[in-house]
């Protein structure tokens, strides 16, 4: 009988210790950082009907990050973590154009439980495409909150 009471008491004390020892670190639900590009014709958002492919060139190599996208109003893609600039190649209607995104990289660390992620502050974008009038930075802060960062204005 004494052993049973001791075991129950020990179990309750361990449960209370575990519950009270937990910390309340508020990690974001999503620590993946993407930039979002939205399509515009004049000052109105549009949906593209022809395929678009987007490549991200990093350290001499390139990665296809958007493949044969159609019937869309926007796309999202990652950025390099530590390079001061990213090269983006956009293929649209059998033509291609290159854009250079200059940026500051901002590492974030909340706690060991949350891990590290890198946010970015876009300082400029330069480039051209035969069918694109301009690309404008609408929100220079690229973080884990999905916001429009760039507008593609078609000719």
Strands 148-154 and 35-41: parallel
Mean predicted confidence (pLDDT) in 108-116: 80
Average pLDDT over residues 60-74: 92
Give domain limits for the chain: 29-154
| Cα–Cα separations (whole angstroms), residue 107 to 69, 101, 102, 115, 120 | 31, 18, 16, 11, 8
**Ranges 6-15, 59-68, 133-142: which has the least confidence:** 6-15
pLDDT in tens, 69-91: 999 999 999 999 889 999 999 99
Q: Is the overall model pTM greater than 0.85, yes or no?
A: no
Predicted confidence at residue 108, as pLDDT, reads: 82
Q: Could you tell me if 88 and 96 are in contact, meaning their C-beta atoms sit under 8 angstroms apart?
A: no
pLDDT digits (tens, 9 = 90+) for 4-58: 665 555 555 555 554 444 555 677 676 678 999 999 998 999 999 999 999 999 8
Residue 6 is predicted with a pLDDT of: 54
């Amino acid at each position: 009988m004494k052993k049973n009471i001791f075991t129950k008491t020990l179990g309750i004390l361990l449960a209370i210790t575990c519950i009270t020892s937990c910390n309340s670190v508020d990690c974001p639900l999503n620590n993946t950082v993407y930039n979002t590009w939205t399509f515009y014709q004049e000052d109105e958002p549009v949906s593209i009907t022809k395929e678009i492919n987007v490549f991200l060139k990093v350290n001499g190599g390139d990665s296809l990050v958007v493949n044969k996208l159609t019937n869309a109003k926007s796309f999202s893609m990652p950025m390099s973590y530590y390079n001061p600039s990213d090269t983006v190649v956009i293929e649209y209607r059998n033509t291609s154009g290159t854009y250079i995104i200059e940026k500051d990289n901002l590492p974030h660390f909340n706690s060991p439980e949350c891990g590290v992620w890198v946010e970015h502050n876009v300082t400029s974008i330069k480039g051209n495409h035969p069918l694109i009038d301009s690309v404008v930075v609408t929100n220079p802060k690229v973080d884990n909150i999905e916001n429009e960062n760039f507008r593609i204005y078609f000719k």
